[in-house]
Structure 1
Amino acid sequence: MDALLEKSIKKIESTYLEFVRSKIDRIRWEARLIGIKGPRGVGKTTLILQYIKKNLPLDHTVLYVSLDNIWFAQNRLVSLVDDFVKRGGKHLFLDEVHKYPDWSIELKNIYDDFPELKIVFTGSSMLEILNARADLSRRAIIYHMQGLSFREFLNFQTGQNFASTTLPNLIENHIEIAREVNSKLKPLEHFHQYLSSGYFPFFREVPELYHQRLEEVVNMTLEIELPLLRKLEVSYIPKIKQLLQIISESVPFIPNVSKLSERIGINRNTFIAYLFFLQEAHITKNLYKDIKGITQLQKPNKVYLENTNFQFAFSPKNADLGNLRETFFVNQLGHEHTVEYIDKGDFRINREYSFEVGGKNKTAEQIQGVKNSFIAADDIEYGTDKKIPLWLFGFLY
């Protein structure tokens, strides 16, 4: 216990505060049980350590511990918590809970048995909060994290403090918002770097190794998390990696499920289920015409990589420009809005707005007569009326 407390204090002390994700202000930290889900590398650990450093005392009342620590090979979490509370512990932060067997059952018991304790836990984006053995959905407030928005990337890179906006406000006032941003910097100077290597917060650590680290993130997810949490057959992983490269080079990718499942050597339903799991793992994003009632056995209409950085990691010389633009749009909008595939135009957002995504010369011909329709255009600093700069959609979170 003392060794874990010492490690916790050292970890918190070494945490930087120069840049803090805006997600920190959206979390109701006063709640008794908080879960933060998200893919590897998006900064879940850094976020909770920054919260501790900014808001809590650096003493025996606060404990941060990662559940993949070797200490848990011979010790149970519930025993640690019992000892921690007896010593005056009040705030417990548990990282990587999916690495601990039966984590949800023990966490439920801890929540019920220690009402004076506040708990924050982090885990994989595939973490099951609702299950038959330990239903945490009624107890925990769950938050989802994804990589940096273009706005956060600009703030991180330049020291600016641009605020996020809502989609209705962006549509109504995009010229004014663009004017404010352009008065302080040239967003298009930074946009390509963001598309290539600005989504994960570790992009500044060793820039030349960034894409190698991205491949490691994906490999860890495919080879460890998916087999552990979704029983993915390890023998299919090389074929799934091949599929990801195909998606990165497509314009965009419209899956022919029968041909692909035959090529990979698995039956159709298993292949569709794997596409669903890849989306759960935040490696891909599946688009459907009707998002309501989607099941893991429903074929998607289009498949994108989850973010544009993956395209440069998987296929640096063959990344399709149109695919990049659409992937960026789906990623930035999909975090807090519903995104659906439509026949007239590219995307329908919240079942209210329709968008066509393209270059600076894109016209409204394909969305002519469509109510609440707009163009998201690349390579422009300012928009006009219903033509909105594509990069501005990176200011929605």
Structure 2
Amino acid sequence: MTLQDLLSKLQEIQARLVLNLPKRLRPYFDALDLSARGLLVLGPRGVGKTTLALSRSKGMLYIPADNPLVAPFKLWDICEAAFGAGYDGVIVDEVHYAREWAVHLKALYDAFPGKRIWATDSSSASLESGVSDLSRRFVQIRVPLLSFREFIALKHDRLFPVIDPFNPDIPSVQGVINAINPLAAFGEYLRQGLRPFFLEGHYAERLKNVLDKMVFSDVPFWTPQISENHLRLMQAIVGHLAMSPIPVISVESLTREWGVGKVKLYDLIEVMMRICLIRVIERKGAASKLHLRGAKLFFYDPSTYYVLNGNTANVREAFVACSLEEAGRSVFAADDERICDFVVDGVTLEVGGKSKLGKAADFVVRDGLDVPLPGVIPMWLLGMMY
């Protein structure tokens, strides 16, 4: 296949994908500044990075780097041919699949000053493997998991204003309650609504496919000297998080049971974090390296507990950590759980059901509550921050 043949194939692929874009796009997209000539769009698998790129692809050629048709060609050669064919820019999707992608992006950015060069990637590990050389040229944009506010917009075609759960605008809260049943919608969102592909149906099967690709494709890509035993160990960690009523793991027992050293175990867990499979909430003041003592481990996406038919006891805390971190807040595990569960930007939070007491926390976050009370935040309100 020649470069011209490849361009023709890519044009066909892009045309089909654009024709099949969803009618309603994530409201989060409208808040993004896409004016930079060089963009690196990051985020977990399945959050809509490709949809975002294709919806803004006018005058640009879409290049799926994970497509086997693309693999035989150098990224430079494809992009140079696209520019020669009159394209204003290129979008390289899943850029880490391209050989020496960071070198090529930097060279293309410098050699074609009038062209736009965008790339997407589903792993924050790319930041450490190549982005350091691109930081002065490429603006990084992160696409988070779907918020409850966005789920409502896509599901019910009602876009409500952003609400600060710590200081809620009461008329805005009342507007949501009057328009929909927030508790029923929130329950559906937690079970099958944190990624926009819920609109296509078969959410559980789609998310399981995402999880499998993370473990069997993404992890080996970023972890040197991976073995079958390491993959089974990561599956064991996933199984433990799914079924355990307490969101912690024992480093000592895992190293003994699986015959791996602590250094390798920590390396595997860190990669699982970077590919957005798990979320580790450490205590404030922990060492700069990953520190699991006193930390809480959750699935990155709270709906994973339901999809894997796991123990849903940790869904509440998993969602609180998820919603706050995805909104850009700093979240830490409490040093003393007799006081609270989390510390968020200096504010202490306790998490529980409708009758949960706040211990000594500044706020208690209650599931099953529809309206805010003094010192009490309805859990669904945390999903309205973006």
TM-score, shorter chain, exceeding 0.5: yes
Question: C-alpha separation between the residues in 2 aligned to 1:184 and 1:264?
Answer: 52
| Alpha-carbon distance in 1 for matches of 2:242, 2:342 | 19
What is the SS of the residue equivalent to 1:239?
helix
After TM superposition, give the deviation of residue 146 of structure 1 in Å. 2.6
Q: Secondary structure at the match of 1:254?
A: coil
Query: Within 1, Cα distance between the matches of 2:114 and 2:35?
Result: 12
Supply the distance in 1 between the matched residues of 2:369 and 2:45 (Cα, whole angstroms): 33
Instruction: State the partner residue of 1:385.
Output: 374
Structure 2: distance between partners of 1:387 and 1:332? 17
Q: Which residue of 1 aligns with 2:50?
A: 45
Matched with 2:311 is 319
Which residue of 1 is the match for residue 4 of structure 2? Answer: none
Once the two structures are TM-superposed, the CA of residue 84 in structure 1 deviates from its matched residue by 1.7
The letter of the residue matching 1:307 is D
SS at match of 2:315: helix
Helix, strand or coil for the counterpart of 2:92? strand
User: Aligned pair in 2 of structure 1 residues 9, 376: CA closer, same or farther (>3 Å)?
Assistant: same
Gaps of 5+ in 1: none
> 2:133: which partner in 1?
135
Q: Is the 8 A contact 1:129 1:136 kept in 2?
A: no
Residue 213 of structure 2 corresponds to 220
Runs of 4+ residues deviating >4 angstroms? 130-134, 297-300
The answer to whether the Cα contact below 8 Å between 2:241 and 2:298 also exists between their aligned partners in 1 is yes
Is 2:17 the counterpart of 1:15?
Answer: no
Match of 1:337 among 307, 322, 329: 329
Root-mean-square deviation over aligned CA pairs: 2.0
Matches within 5 A, 1:169-248: 169-173=164-168, 175-207=170-202, 210-231=203-224, 232-248=226-242
Shift, 1:353, TM fit: 1.2
The alpha-carbon distance between structure 1 residues 8 and 133, as it changes in their structure 2 partners (threshold 3 A), is closer
Classify 1:97/1:133 alpha carbon distance in 2 versus 1 (closer, same or farther; 3 Å): closer
Counterparts of 1:137 and 1:292, CA distance in 2: 27
Which residue pairs with 2:147 in the alignment? 149
Q: 1:175, 1:382 within 8 Å by CA — same for their partners in 2?
A: no
Amino acid at match of 1:102: E
Aligned to 2:343, the other structure's residue is in SS state strand
1:47 match: secondary structure: helix
- Residue of structure 2 in register with 1:375 after alignment: 364
Calculate percent identity across the aligned residue pairs. 26
Q: Could you tell me how far 1:327 is from its partner in structure 2?
A: 0.6
* 1:292-311 Cα deviation digits (max 9, x unpaired): 75314665611111122111
CA distance in 2, matches of 1:27, 1:293: 33
Contact 1:255 1:300 in 2 (8 A): no
Instruction: State whether residues 63 and 92 of structure 1, in contact with CA within 8 Å, keep that contact through their aligned partners in structure 2.
Output: yes
Query: Residues of 1 paired with 2:117 and 2:131: CA distance?
Result: 20
Q: Contact 1:291 / 1:340 at 8 angstroms: preserved in 2?
A: no
Instruction: State the alpha-carbon separation in 1 of the partners of residues 244 and 364 from structure 2.
Output: 22
Say if 1:49 and 1:386 are closer, same or farther in 2 by CA, change over 3 A. same
In structure 2, relative to structure 1, the CA distance for the partners of 1:392 and 1:348 (3 Å cut) is: same
TM-score, normalised to structure 2's length? 0.91
Q: What is the alpha-carbon distance in structure 2 between the residues aligned to residue 38 and residue 298 of structure 1?
A: 24
Q: CA deviation at 1:291?
A: 5.8
User: Relative to structure 1, is the Cα distance of residues 160 and 4 closer, same or farther in structure 2, using a 3 angstrom cutoff?
Assistant: same
Which amino acid counterpart does residue 349 of structure 2 have in structure 1? F
The residue identity in structure 2 corresponding to 1:94 is: V
**Structure 2: where are the runs of 5+ without partners?**
1-6
TM-score by length of 1: 0.89
Residue in structure 2 matching 1:4, options 10, 26, 38: 10
1:255 deviates by: 2.0
CA displacement, residues 129-161 of structure 1 (integer Å, 9 cap, x when unaligned)? 355797112211111223211111111111111
Instruction: Count matched residues.
Output: 375
Q: Deviations over 1:102-148 (max 9, x none)?
A: 11111111111111111111012234235579711221111122321
Distance 1:86 1:333, change over 3 A: same
Q: 1:236 to 1:108 in 2, by over 3 A?
A: same
Further displaced range: 299-308 or 123-132: 123-132
> Deviations for 1:213-257, whole angstroms, at most 9, x for unmatched residues?
222211111111111122243432122112212112223322221
Give the corresponding residue for 2:3. Answer: none
Q: Which moved further from structure 2: 285-294 or 107-116?
A: 285-294
